[in-house]
């Protein structure tokens, strides 16, 4: 072990000089690390498209199951589409979170990532961006599908819907990425992730569902949607700040 000591000191020294640059340089380093993690996840995913295809199929089956519960005489209640959309996103998001980190656990690659001389919050941001891309692709298919199946005027206010979806997925994924990363060490992670995630992200889901439902009214109720959007963004700020703040101590063993 003794001969390894100089090497580790060297690594520490290198990282210390790299971090010691100007504030602008360390910001750039943070961004580069986050994008590298995203690029890595993207490169693995495009080979098989495993997570995207499976979660998307799961989301579509969710939509079908819920349509059996809500549709009566060929018609769904007017704001059912909003609820179904958000439930499908939340459920498939949980699945995507679990799979993404299962991949990291399988070959202990998360440990390797954490050992890298990079700011840890950057790793978190990288993983978060990966989940967000997946959820965005999910939503890209789900929104037209639900609009079609339930004849819901989801595209009446496209910008507001886009903002609601963005705010909702960021809030959901911010908490989800943190918890999925922590749960990697736990034996019961499969069941604990939804148990932890749903109660804490319910305010996000409420804002998303009520905001979307307001858009589905005719004419669309813009003031209500904007109000929910405001709460949603406030929640996002709280969740992101807390996650960035706690990621470092949580991932330290």
Judged by CB under 8 A, the stretch of 52-60, 93-101, 123-131, 172-180 that binds another protein is 172-180
Closer Cβ to another protein, 53 or 195, answer by number: 195
Contact (CB, 8 A) for 168 and 232: yes
Residue 114 as a binder of another protein (CB under 8 A): the answer is no
Figure out which of the listed residues 179, 215, 225, 236 binds another protein, where binding follows CB under 8 A: 179
Figure out which of the listed residues 183, 213, 215, 225 binds another protein, where binding follows CB under 8 A: 183
Figure out which of the listed residues 37, 170, 175, 209 binds another protein, where binding follows CB under 8 A: 175
- In the bound complex, what is the minimum distance in angstroms from residue 90's beta carbon to another protein? 15
Residue 164 as a binder of another protein (CB under 8 A): the answer is no
Figure out which of the listed residues 75, 109, 186, 190 binds another protein, where binding follows CB under 8 A: 186
Residue 87 as a binder of another protein (CB under 8 A): the answer is no
Closer Cβ to another protein, 84 or 174, answer by number: 174
- In the bound complex, what is the minimum distance in angstroms from residue 42's beta carbon to another protein? 27
Distances (CA, A) of 81 to 5, 59, 136: 60, 14, 18
Q: Taking CB under 8 A as the criterion, which residues in 216-245 touch another protein? A: 227, 231, 234-235, 238-239, 242
- In the bound complex, what is the minimum distance in angstroms from residue 14's beta carbon to another protein? 27
- In the bound complex, what is the minimum distance in angstroms from residue 121's beta carbon to another protein? 15
Closer Cβ to another protein, 114 or 231, answer by number: 231
126 vs 38: CA distance, rounded Å? 5
Q: What is the DSSP string of the chain?
A: -GGGHHHHHHHHHHHHHHHTS-HHHHHHHHHHHHHHHHHHHHHHHHHH-HHHHHHHHHHHHHHHHHHHHH-BTTB--TTHHHHHHHHHHHHHHHHHHHHHHHHHHHTTHHHHHHHSSS-HHHHHHHHHHHHHHHHHHHHHHHHHHHHHHTT--TTSSHHHHHHHHHHHHHHHHHHHHHHHHHHTT-TTHHHHHHHHHHHHHHHHHHHHHHHHHHHHSSS--HHHHHHHHHHHHHHHHHHHHHHHHHHHHHH--
**Which residues are at the interface with another protein (CB under 8 A)?**
175, 178-179, 182-183, 185-188, 191-192, 195-196, 199-200, 202-203, 206, 227, 231, 234-235, 238-239, 242, 246, 249-250, 253
């Amino acid at each position: 072990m003794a001969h390894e000591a100089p090497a580790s000191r060297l690594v520490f020294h290198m990282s210390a000089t790299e971090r010691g640059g100007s504030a602008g340089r360390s910001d750039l380093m943070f961004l580069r690390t986050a994008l590298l993690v995203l690029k890595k996840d993207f490169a693995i995913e495009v080979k098989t498209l495993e997570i995207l295809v499976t979660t998307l199929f799961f989301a579509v089956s969710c939509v079908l199951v819920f349509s059996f519960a809500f549709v009566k005489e060929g018609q769904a209640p007017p704001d059912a589409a909003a609820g179904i959309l958000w439930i499908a996103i939340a459920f498939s998001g949980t699945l995507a979170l679990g799979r993404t980190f299962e991949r990291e656990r399988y070959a202990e690659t998360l440990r390797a990532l954490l050992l890298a001389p990079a700011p840890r919050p950057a790793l978190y941001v990288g993983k978060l961006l990966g989940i967000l891309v997946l959820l965005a692709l999910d939503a890209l298919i789900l929104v037209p599908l639900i609009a079609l199946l339930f004849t819901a005027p989801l595209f009446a206010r496209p910008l507001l819907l886009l903002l609601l979806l963005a705010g909702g997925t960021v809030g959901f994924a911010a908490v989800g990425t943190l918890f999925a990363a922590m749960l990697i060490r736990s034996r019961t992670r499969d069941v604990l992730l939804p148990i932890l995630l749903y109660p804490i992200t319910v305010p996000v889901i409420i804002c998303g569902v009520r905001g979307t439902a307001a858009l589905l009214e005719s004419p669309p109720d813009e003031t209500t949607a904007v109000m929910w959007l405001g709460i949603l963004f406030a929640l996002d700020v709280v969740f992101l700040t807390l996650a960035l703040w706690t990621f470092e101590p949580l991932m330290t063993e």
